[in-house]
């Protein structure tokens, strides 16, 4: 039970709609650090394994601290969280060139990045795709049910397609893992279709119209937060991504990779040691060897993962809650306000390059990321 999402069937619509507003209100009281409780609640939403020692320490906080109010109590919880995190976390040594080559040879999904104080750190831990698929399946099943409910009463001419795809998704995702894998390309098409629908709705909203109501847009956004990564855990989908015309401009995107990586370093978001690892992968990609295609894909995916993390913190810090907090990245912006400030400066200073980069991504990855960039730009103008 501890490893299951809080809502085993589906999140009630009222909770789905009101939680972003409550979250924003709590975060606005910066001197009280309600982020400690937001992180606790959202970890239960995801079904993360509980940190038993931390939960025990939280429960044993003396009454006199609780009685002093949220500012003091939450500060003590934050101290305990940092203390327990320091016990569990040890910074790994920079990867050697040989280890980097081995990672590339494994045809990885792209290196991940974790927040660490005022910057992000590369995570090169072994995380097999099969294990990630199995862990994500319960969440994907919940997302499918949310989509079905959102499009149950489809009224726009394009919406019956979304409704039918949601029903097909729900049917496939309930099957055993082996059967899900056999229909991975169908899941990819559904994810891409949802991304295109979200993107089209963003265009129409910019003109003062819409093709999705708020509940439908929210359901698609939440779905894409999981599906864009989930479908690419399957090798067939990664092959399709590389070959499909929707993966346009891939060479140009790789040319932009290094410039965007170096900018991440200059903004002190990415450590130089981690940038060197990405540059090593870039060197392998350009060496015209048997490893080059895999290295190019690994660099491309890693850079996208890094950008997604940066956008999360920028959006969170700017108060674009609806698009930031629904992205399933397991990050708590309230822990790293300085990182959020750096991320905002990075996005605004690199907007044109980021838009050019994101515009070449597959629709299900592109749509929510582009939406964050545009909303962030708009929020800074007001």
Evaluate whether residue 101 is within a structural domain: no
Mean pLDDT along residues 266-290: 84
For residue 377, the model assigns a pLDDT of: 79
Of 2-11, 113-122, 246-255, the one with minimum mean pLDDT is 246-255
Which pLDDT does position 167 carry in this prediction? 92
- Please report, for residues 122, 133, 304, 327, the alpha-carbon distance to residue 130 in angstroms, rounded to integers and kept in the order given: 21, 5, 21, 21
pLDDT of residue 275: 87
Does the structure show a pLDDT above 50 at 157? yes
121 falls within a domain? no
Question: In terms of C-beta density within 10 A (0-12 exposed, 13-18 middle, 19 or more buried), how is residue 60 classed?
Answer: exposed
Instruction: Choose one of 236, 271, 301: the last residue of a domain.
Output: 236
Taking the chain, what is the end-to-end CA distance rounded to the nearest angstrom? 45
How far, in Å, CA of 311 to CA of 361, rounded? 15
Q: Among 58-62, 83-87, 274-278, whose mean pLDDT is lowest?
A: 83-87
What is the chain's mean pLDDT, rounded? Answer: 79
**307 is a domain residue:** yes
Residue 375 confidence (pLDDT): 84
Same domain? 40 vs 68: yes
Question: Which of 88, 104, 121 lies at the terminal end of a domain, its last residue?
Answer: 88
8 Å CB contact between 58 and 351: no
Does 376 map to a domain? Answer: yes
- Residues 132-148: pLDDT tens digits? 788 888 888 988 998 99
If asked whether residues 187 and 292 sit together in one domain, one would say: no
User: Is 98 inside a domain boundary?
Assistant: no
Same-domain check for residues 288 and 308: yes
Rounded Cα–Cα distance for residues 360 and 344 (Å):
22
Q: Clarify whether residues 226 and 166 are in a common domain.
A: yes
Q: Work out how many domains the chain is built from and give that number.
A: 3
Whether residue 345 sits in one domain with residue 281:
yes
Minimum mean pLDDT range among 64-73, 115-124, 135-144 = 115-124
- The answer as to whether 122 is a domain residue is no
Whether residue 373 is found in the same domain as residue 252: yes
Q: Cβ(182)–Cβ(234) under 8 Å?
A: no
Task: Measure the CA–CA gap between 339 and 264, rounded to whole angstroms.
Answer: 11
Which is higher by pLDDT, 16 or 37?
Answer: 37
Residues 333, 317: Cα–Cα separation, whole Å: 7
Per-residue confidence band for 194, with pLDDT thresholds at 50, 70 and 90: very high
Radius of gyration of the chain (CA): 21
Q: What pLDDT is recorded for position 99?
A: 72
Model confidence at 176: pLDDT above 80: yes
**The pair of three-digit structure tokens given for residue 127, joined into one six-digit string:** 């995380």
pLDDT digits (tens, 9 = 90+) for 78-106: 888 877 765 554 444 456 667 777 777 66
**Are 57 and 74 in the same domain?**
yes
As beta bridge partners, residue 119 has: 116
Model confidence band, residue 173 (pLDDT cutoffs 50, 70, 90): very high
118 inside domain: no
Whether 102 is covered by a domain: the verdict is no
How much is the average pLDDT of 164-192?
91
Identify the domain containing residue 335 by its residue range: 244-381
Is 358 within 8 Å of 307 (Cβ atoms)?
A: yes
Last residue of a domain, which of 57, 88, 119?
88
Q: What is the mean pLDDT of residues 183-202?
A: 91
User: Average pLDDT, stretch 360-377?
Assistant: 86
pLDDT tops 90 at residue 224: no
Mean pLDDT calculated for residue range 61-76: 91
Q: Is the pLDDT of residue 25 over 90?
A: no
Q: What pairs with residue 123 in β-bridges?
A: 112
Q: pTM of the entire structure?
A: 0.65
My answer on whether 320 and 368 are in the same domain is: yes
352 in the same domain as 270: yes
The whole-number average pLDDT for the span 201-217 is: 87
Q: Looking at the structure, do residues 285 and 365 belong to the same domain, yes or no?
A: yes
pLDDT tens per residue across span 306-357: 898 888 888 877 877 544 444 445 556 666 788 888 999 999 888 888 888 8
276 and 302 in a single domain? The answer is yes
Compute CA distances 346 → 48, 58, 160, 366, whole Å: 30, 36, 40, 18
Q: Are residues 59 and 146 in the same domain?
A: no
Query: Which pLDDT value is given to residue 326?
Result: 40
């Amino acid at each position: 039970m501890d490893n299951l999402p809080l809502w085993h069937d589906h999140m009630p619509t009222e909770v789905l709609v009101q939680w972003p507003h409550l979250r924003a209100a709590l975060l606005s009281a910066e001197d009280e650090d309600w982020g400690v409780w937001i992180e606790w609640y959202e970890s239960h939403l995801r079904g993360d394994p509980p940190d038993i020692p931390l939960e025990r320490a939280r429960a044993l906080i003396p009454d006199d601290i609780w009685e002093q109010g949220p500012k003091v109590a939450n500060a003590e919880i934050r101290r305990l969280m940092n203390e327990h995190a320091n016990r569990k976390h040890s910074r790994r040594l920079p990867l050697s060139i040989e280890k980097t080559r081995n990672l590339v040879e494994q045809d990885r999904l792209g290196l991940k990045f974790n927040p660490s104080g005022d910057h992000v750190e590369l995570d090169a831990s072994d995380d097999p795709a099969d294990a990630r698929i199995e862990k994500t399946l319960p969440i994907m099943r919940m997302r499918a049910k949310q989509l079905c409910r959102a499009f149950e009463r489809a009224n726009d001419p394009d919406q019956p397609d979304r409704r039918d795809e949601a029903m097909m998704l729900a049917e496939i995702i309930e099957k055993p893992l082996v059967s899900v894998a056999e229909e991975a390309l169908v899941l990819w098409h559904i994810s891409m279709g949802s991304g295109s629908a979200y993107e089209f709705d963003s265009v129409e909203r910019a003109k003062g119209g819409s093709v999705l109501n708020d509940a439908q847009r929210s359901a698609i956004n939440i779905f894409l937060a999981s599906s864009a990564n989930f479908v690419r855990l399957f090798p067939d989908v990664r092959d399709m991504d590389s070959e499909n015309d929707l993966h346009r401009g891939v060479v140009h995107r790789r040319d932009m990779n290094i410039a965007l990586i170096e900018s991440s370093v200059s903004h002190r978001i990415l450590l130089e040691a981690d940038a060197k690892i990405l540059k090593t992968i870039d060197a392998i990609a350009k060496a015209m060897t048997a490893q080059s295609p895999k290295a190019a894909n690994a660099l491309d995916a890693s850079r996208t993962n890094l950008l997604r993390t940066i956008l999360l913190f920028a959006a969170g810090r700017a108060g674009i809650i609806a698009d930031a907090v629904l992205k399933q990245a397991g990050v708590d912006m309230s822990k790293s306000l300085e990182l959020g400030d750096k991320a905002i400066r990075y996005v605004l200073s690199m907007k044109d390059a980021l838009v050019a980069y994101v515009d070449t991504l597959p629709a299900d990855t592109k749509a929510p990321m582009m939406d964050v960039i545009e909303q962030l730009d708009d929020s800074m103008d007001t």
